[in-house]
A and B are shown apart, each in its own frame.
Chain A
Amino acid sequence: AQSVTQLDSQVPVFEEAPVELRCNYSSSVSVYLFWYVQYPNQGLQLLLKYLSGSTLVESINGFEAEFNKSQTSFHLRKPSVHISDTAEYFCAVSVGGYQKVTFGTGTKLQVIP
């Protein structure tokens, strides 16, 4: 079975500074990888996804994540964060077929003015 590890439960960062949220996964087969964002009192929103092809994927609001098969990682990065990026971010993995999606425990990003 697959698993996801988000080692950082909270990440404080100053506004306009870069940030990296770490995600490592474990699976014996090929995977699909996702990052979701949850703003306070809302459901999760799909931020970006890796299905196949280019290992670098980007979102419309400046986040990017790189699939690294050798390190089994899918870290999320942004070169310059804004106050509005304050939220909880979840990494998720799927192996497709009839298997369920597995979510990490989440990382709370706190952007400090």
Chain B
Amino acid sequence: KAGVTQTPRYLIKTRGQQVTLSCSPISGHRSVSWYQQTPGQGLQFLFEYFSETQRNKGNFPGRFSGRQFSNSRSEMNVSTLELGDSALYLCASSPMTSGTHEQYFGPGTRLTVT
């Protein structure tokens, strides 16, 4: 099976702009989670989607949003970008077998805000 893919891998944006990141989970995986990783804050949970519904949400402002499509692919959007949004954004999918939440991560999208 192909792994989790994320596009684009690298992105440079300007403050005030918005950005959309895409994630394609492993075939058959219905749960997709998003994380923000920075040197200062570490790995922080953004949100999780399961069957097109947001099931869990982290403590991020409303500028961060996401959605999941019927084929389980997911997108996250950040509006009105700030310098502090520069980070590695990781997507992870889970097979949800037995509800164990073991996750498989994509390579990430490196977002730089200037």
Roughly how many angstroms separate A105 CA and B40 CA in the complex, as a whole number?
Answer: 10
Q: How far is the CB of B109 from chain A (nearest CB, A)?
A: 10
Say yes or no: A32-B43 contact (C-beta < 8 A), given A42-B107, A98-B55, A100-B56. Answer: no
- A67: interface (CB < 8 Å): no
CB of B90 within 8 A of CB of A97, answer no
Roughly how many angstroms separate A32 CA and B96 CA in the complex, as a whole number?
Answer: 13
- B64: interface (CB < 8 Å): no
The 0/1 profile, CB within 8 Å of B marked 1, for residues 76-92 of chain A is 00000000000000101
Q: How far is the CB of B98 from chain A (nearest CB, A)?
A: 7
Nearest-CB residue, chain B, relative to A105: B42
Besides A44-B43, A96-B100, 7 other CB < 8 A contacts?
A44-B92, A94-B100, A96-B101, A101-B101, A101-B103, A103-B45, A106-B42
Roughly how many angstroms separate A98 CA and B102 CA in the complex, as a whole number?
Answer: 13
Roughly how many angstroms separate A99 CA and B31 CA in the complex, as a whole number?
Answer: 12
- B99: interface (CB < 8 Å): yes
Nearest-CB residue, chain B, relative to A96: B99
Chain B interface SS verdict (over half) = strand
CB of B102 within 8 A of CB of A43, answer no
12 A-B pairs (CB sep. < 8 Å):
A32-B100, A43-B108, A44-B92, A44-B103, A46-B104, A49-B100, A90-B43, A94-B102, A98-B55, A98-B56, A101-B33, A101-B103
Nearest-CB residue, chain A, relative to B35: A103
- Indicate the size class of the contact surface on chain A: 20 to 34
Contact partner of B43 among A42, A45, A99, A103, CB < 8 A? A103
Nearest-CB residue, chain A, relative to B44: A103
The 0/1 profile, CB within 8 Å of B marked 1, for residues 25-41 of chain A is 00000001010100000
- B106: interface (CB < 8 Å): yes
Q: Residues of B contacting A11 with CB < 8 Å?
A: none
CB of B98 within 8 A of CB of A51, answer yes
Roughly how many angstroms separate A104 CA and B19 CA in the complex, as a whole number?
Answer: 28
Nearest-CB residue, chain B, relative to A93: B101
- B48: interface (CB < 8 Å): yes
Q: How far is the CB of A55 from chain B (nearest CB, A)?
A: 16
